[in-house]
């Protein structure tokens, strides 16, 4: 049987060392999200995260310098997941109108639009005004998200050959989506995802009315 050269062993060992922290960190962050959904942000303690992740406090301290860093990294992961789902939805659509509709749709479909997931968002929203780290991450997320929506509003306006206040449109659409998420957390039975989606699409049409003929320019 061929012996594995020392260089290959070192390389394989090196890969394992690099991969293990990322896997561990992701597992701890996932456990943090579950705790926030179950207990709320303020009631999520390191002890509860340890129990949920089935790890020691020392291991969490090894991967995260403080609870603040863990919470910041958790919010960053939450935001990155949303942006990635939105990007994928837009990439799979053709044309500005379809891309805008696709981004709205993912906000009201699994895995984004689920009570447990929305509760995690609400947990971070509850401290975004008082926690400087979360506030910074929140501001960056919403700025980039609204900018992407603004660009699509402008493009759809060009296609429909109408003037559009794209900045206000992006702001309004984001606020309406957030409003539905808040209501979902309060009472999941008060409306359907279909109702929420239809309402948001009407917002788009109110800011970017179609031509009288209903045809696109071109």
Q: How far, in Å, CA of 38 to CA of 48, rounded?
A: 10
pTM for the full model?
0.79
Beta strands in 23-181 (DSSP E): none
For 189-207, the pLDDT digits (tens) are: 889 989 999 999 999 999 9
The CATH number for 18's domain is 1.10.10.60
- Give the pLDDT confidence score for residue 100 in this predicted structure: 96
Look at residue 8 and tell me whether its pLDDT is greater than 60. Answer: no
DSSP secondary structure string for all residues of 84-109:
HHHHHHHHTS-SHHHHHHHHHHHTTS
**What is residue 192's three-state secondary structure?**
coil
* Spatial separation of the C-alpha atoms in residues 160 and 204, rounded to whole Å: 12
Does residue 94 sit in the same domain as residue 142? Answer: yes
How open is the CA angle 27-30-115, to the nearest 5 degrees?
160
- What is the reported pLDDT for 15? 44
pLDDT digits (tens, 9 = 90+) for 118-141: 889 999 999 999 989 899 889 988
Residues 76 and 46 in one domain: no
What band does 21 get if pLDDT is binned at 50, 70 and 90?
confident
* Residue-range definition of the domain harbouring residue 143: 72-218
Q: How confident is the model at residue 114 (pLDDT cuts 50, 70, 90)?
A: confident
On whether both 206 and 178 belong to a single domain, the answer is yes
Is 106 found in the same domain as 4? no
Q: Is the pLDDT of residue 187 over 90?
A: no
Are residues 188 and 80 part of one domain? Answer: yes
Which of 15-24, 76-85, 121-130, 154-163 is least confident?
A: 15-24
Mean pLDDT, rounded, for 165-184: 94
Distance, in Å, from the CA atom of 126 to the CA atom of 146, rounded to the nearest integer, reads 20
- pLDDT for 17: 43
217 and 167, same structural domain?
Answer: yes
How confident is the model over 171-177, as a mean pLDDT?
A: 96
One domain for residues 53 and 127: no
Residues 148 and 175 in one domain: yes
218 vs 151, which has greater pLDDT?
A: 151
Alpha helices in the chain (DSSP H): 6-39, 46-53, 57-63, 67-91, 96-106, 115-125, 132-160, 166-186, 193-207
Same domain? For 131 and 25 the reply is: no
Do the beta carbons of residue 165 and residue 112 sit within 8 Å?
no
Q: CATH code at 132?
A: 1.10.357.10
Which pLDDT band holds residue 7 (cuts at 50, 70, 90)? very low
In this structure, are 90 and 18 located in the same domain?
A: no
Indicate whether 44 pLDDT > 90: yes
- Shared domain for 113 and 57, answered yes or no, is no
């Amino acid at each position: 049987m061929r012996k594995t050269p020392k260089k290959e062993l070192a390389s394989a060992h090196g890969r394992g060392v690099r991969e293990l922290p990322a896997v561990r960190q992701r597992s701890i962050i996932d456990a943090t999200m579950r705790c926030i959904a179950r207990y709320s942000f303020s009631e999520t303690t390191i002890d509860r995260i340890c129990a949920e992740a089935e790890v020691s406090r020392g291991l969490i301290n090894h991967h995260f310098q403080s609870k603040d860093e863990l919470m910041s990294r958790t919010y960053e992961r939450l935001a990155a997941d949303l942006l990635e789902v939105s990007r994928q939805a837009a990439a799979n659509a053709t044309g500005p109108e379809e891309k805008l509709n696709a981004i709205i749709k993912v906000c009201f479909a699994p895995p984004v639009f689920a009570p447990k997931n929305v509760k995690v968002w609400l947990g971070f929203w509850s401290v975004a005004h008082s926690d400087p780290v979360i506030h910074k991450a929140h501001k960056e997320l919403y700025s980039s998200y609204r900018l992407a929506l603004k660009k699509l509003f402008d493009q759809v306006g060009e296609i429909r050959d109408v003037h559009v206040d794209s900045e206000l449109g992006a702001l309004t659409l984001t606020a309406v989506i957030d409003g539905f998420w808040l209501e979902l957390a309060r009472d999941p039975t008060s409306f359907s995802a279909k109702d929420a989606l239809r309402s948001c699409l009407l917002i788009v049409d109110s800011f970017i009315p179609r031509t009288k003929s209903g045809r696109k320019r071109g």
